[in-house]
Chains A and B, each alone.
Chain A
Amino acid sequence: MAKHVPTANGTEMTGATSLVKSLEAAGVEVMFGLPGGAILPAYDPIYDSTIRHILVRHEQGAGHAATGYAQVTGRAGVCIATSGPGATNLVTPLMDAAMDSVPLVAITGQVPSAAIGTDAFQEADIRGITMPFTKHNYLVTNPDEIPGVIAEAFHIATTGRPGPVLVDIAKDALQKMTTYNWPTSIKLAGYNPRTTPDAQAITDAAALIAQSSKPVFYVGGGVIKANAHADLRQLVELLGGPVVTTLMARGAFPDSHPLHMGMPGMHGTVAAVTALQKADLLITLGARFDDRVTGKLSTFAPNAKILHADIDPAEIGKNRHADVAVVGDVKETIAALIPALKAALAKNKPDLTAWLRQMNSLKSTYPLGFDTPDDGSLSPQLVIQRLGQISGTDTIFTAGVGQHQMWASQFISYEHPRTWLNSGGAGTMGYGVPAAMGAKVGAPDTTVWAIDGDGCFQMTNQELVTCALNNIPIKVAIINNESLGMVRQWQTLFYDSRYSNTSLDSKRVPNFPMLAESMGCVGLSCERPEDLDKTIEKAMSINDQPVVVDFRVHRDAMVWPMVAAGTSNDEIMIARATAPDWDSQEL
């Protein structure tokens, strides 16, 4: 690839060339996109650019691929599309990135400025449409503004709480001549995220922790975003308190660590859910009290004081009052908290022995588990567990949304940050394959497995064509239970087993291995437990092509434990109509 040579300010060029030069100046190496009329002027200079443009088969694939790339690399992902339907196909990935705080820059073409507002061909008000779920967005009609807007877009997307930014550019602004002028500094009167925590708040936080006898580290995805995993481990080991990692934080703290109680929430472990419920202090780091974690909010962690550290001031007190709030970058916060806590513990070190004994008792009494089907069919949880064990802890896993996602968060051991990518806040079915594509582009030497459901896979599998043709050899495990499995589980539990529109009918239509082969991938299938390991090993041995494995699994497996929607975490069930035996627990 040609080395990027910075373009001198003051050079005359078209707005389109100015856009591409600006993206290069912003450090973009890869973008995912698909051209069309309004964005077409930009695709001409893209032809000559040092930026690798990956031509997707659907703009939604471009958006999730950019997200996967961003989640793995920590840098902004970039996607590009044309006006109207091209832009609206980015709506779901933008909303997804907003919910999971992913730095994303989306570039869209817009109809010529004179046609805006006339219901022109392929005109959509994408700036208006995306206002609710972009961190900021722009409509550019003056080509002179392009470099400044692109610089701002990357600045906003990647600083503070990361998020998506959309830049919509009118076609005539791309076509007109302009003078390239990359800004030397960015000044935004209304945007100045606070990263350094307040010293008094740190002192108060340390004092609160030192007074607690039942603390829990409630760790969210912000810890991964801030690259604070190593700092977190230091802090945890300093105090010696139990840790829970949310769905977005899997990998922020090693699963193998004895202080790790697992994932809290709707499908969390008994130990993690109970730790939050019985705690006298939640040390909340980069987490946002999401309803999937808290269950019924009024009964969540009823005895706990709340220490809430977050980069986003609007998260403080949004769902739960914070007794001590620390606004700032969570890495800086933890770094400041460690010496402050050392000082506080030197005066008063609480004895956490009894608390840890209770938590460890729950952890050992109620480990995650699953039943092996007695008809000899394949258990979905076993497939996912063996994938994790055989592929190893350096593997990057992505998931769609549903049962397979929950099992992938439960039965794979995550030891490192940025190895678990999923659609947590948005719950976007179809996230898995394109996110894996983006992840593999960002980490080409790492094995990337998409664990997908048969429902999810049918939403975005077209990107396997992109993978096959662009040397992006991802691996896909379809957990094929011929159902929309999680919805079916709810129908089993809450709708009297009336399976309205959740059956995908057949394990043979579509024929996933044949579909995979037709898209330039290797297609494998497995339906007997005795073939499981050798099928995974075969998939692991193929590294020059994408591989799709159709795991035809038992249909009636359910995700447990479960806190039913709208109920209290105290009503956690470990199996159908089975609560933990609280009487035998010392709590």
Chain B
Amino acid sequence: MTTSRRQHTLEVLVENEPGVLARVAGLFSRRAFNIETLNVGPTEDSSISKMIIGVAVEGHSLEQVIAQLDKLVSVISIKDVTPKAKEVHDTQPDYQN
């Protein structure tokens, strides 16, 4: 079956503090958002880390993902850095199947 999935890449600046990865990962898990890729690294400001999150949006809107992320006090800013024309029609079977 062909499913329409939209992939987005979010650049998220977060407070560099213990537990911040758990906060973000836990949010995605409990809200049933899908993380496709996740990369965490430092910024020039040692108090701030940068997360690059690949999100597959299915059954909810990107706006909702961003709004929920933004509610985390440890999240400072969120930028949609998705390359243009990223509408993907996934005809491949999922890895699990």
Contact = CB atoms under 8 A, between A and B. Distances in A.
B10 interface: no
A132 B26 contact: yes
B22 A131 contact: yes
Interface residues on A, range: 10 to 19
Contacts of A317: 61, 63-64
B19 A313 contact: no
Contact of B67 (A188, A189, A316): A316
Contacts of A318: 64, 67
Interface string A123-142: 00001100110011001000
Interface string A308-324: 00001110111000000
Interface string A151-189: 000001000000000000000000000000000000011
Contacts of A127: 19
Interface residues of B, number: 20
Identify which of A156, A314, A318 gathers the most chain B CB atoms within 10 Å of its CB: A314
A135 B22 CA distance: 15
A286 to B, nearest CB: 17
B19 to A, nearest CB: 6
Given A131-B22, A314-B67, A191 B73 contact: yes
A136 B17 CA distance: 13
Given A190-B76, A314-B71, A139 B19 contact: yes
A314 B73 contact: no
Nearest to B18: A139
Interface string A189-212: 111000000000000000000000
B36 interface: no
A314 B68 CA distance: 6
B6 interface: no
Interface string B56-82: 000001011001101111111000000
B73 A128 contact: no
Contact of A135 (B19, B67, B73, B75): B73
Nearest to B72: A190
Given A136-B73, A314-B67, A314-B70, A189 B22 contact: no
A173 to B, nearest CB: 14
A217 B76 CA distance: 35
The residue among A127, A131, A188, A312 with the most chain B CB atoms within 10 A of its own CB is: A131
Given A131-B22, A313-B67, A314-B68, A190 B30 contact: no
Contacts of B11: none
B68 A128 contact: no
Contacts of B76: 189-190
B19 A128 contact: yes
A128 B14 CA distance: 18
Interface in A105-137: 127-128, 131-132, 135-136
Contacts of B72: 136, 190
Contacts of A156: 73
Given A131-B23, A314-B68, A188 B63 contact: no
Contacts of B68: 314
Contacts of B71: 312, 314
A317 B60 CA distance: 10
Interface string A212-235: 000000000000000000000000
Contacts of A189: 15, 76
A88 to B, nearest CB: 17
A437 B97 CA distance: 54
A397 B23 CA distance: 37
Nearest to A156: B73
Contacts of B74: 136, 190
A33 B19 CA distance: 27
A317 B26 CA distance: 22
A139 B74 CA distance: 14
A517 B53 CA distance: 60
A239 B79 CA distance: 41
Contact of B70 (A135, A139, A313): A313
Contacts of A313: 67, 70
Nearest to A316: B67
Given A314-B68, A317-B63, A190 B75 contact: yes
Nearest to B23: A131
Contacts of A314: 64, 67-68, 70-71
Nearest to A165: B73
A188 B61 contact: no
A316 B68 CA distance: 11
Interface in B24-49: 26, 30
Given A190-B72, A317-B64, A318-B64, 20 more contacts: A127-B19, A128-B19, A131-B19, A131-B23, A131-B26, A136-B72, A136-B73, A136-B74, A156-B73, A188-B73, A190-B73, A190-B74, A190-B75, A190-B76, A191-B73, A313-B67, A313-B70, A314-B68, A317-B61, A317-B63
25 contacts: A127-B19, A128-B19, A128-B22, A131-B22, A131-B26, A132-B26, A135-B73, A136-B74, A139-B19, A156-B73, A188-B73, A189-B76, A190-B72, A190-B73, A190-B74, A190-B75, A190-B76, A191-B73, A312-B71, A313-B67, A314-B70, A314-B71, A316-B67, A317-B63, A318-B67
Interface of B: 14-15, 18-19, 22-23, 26, 30, 61, 63-64, 67-68, 70-76
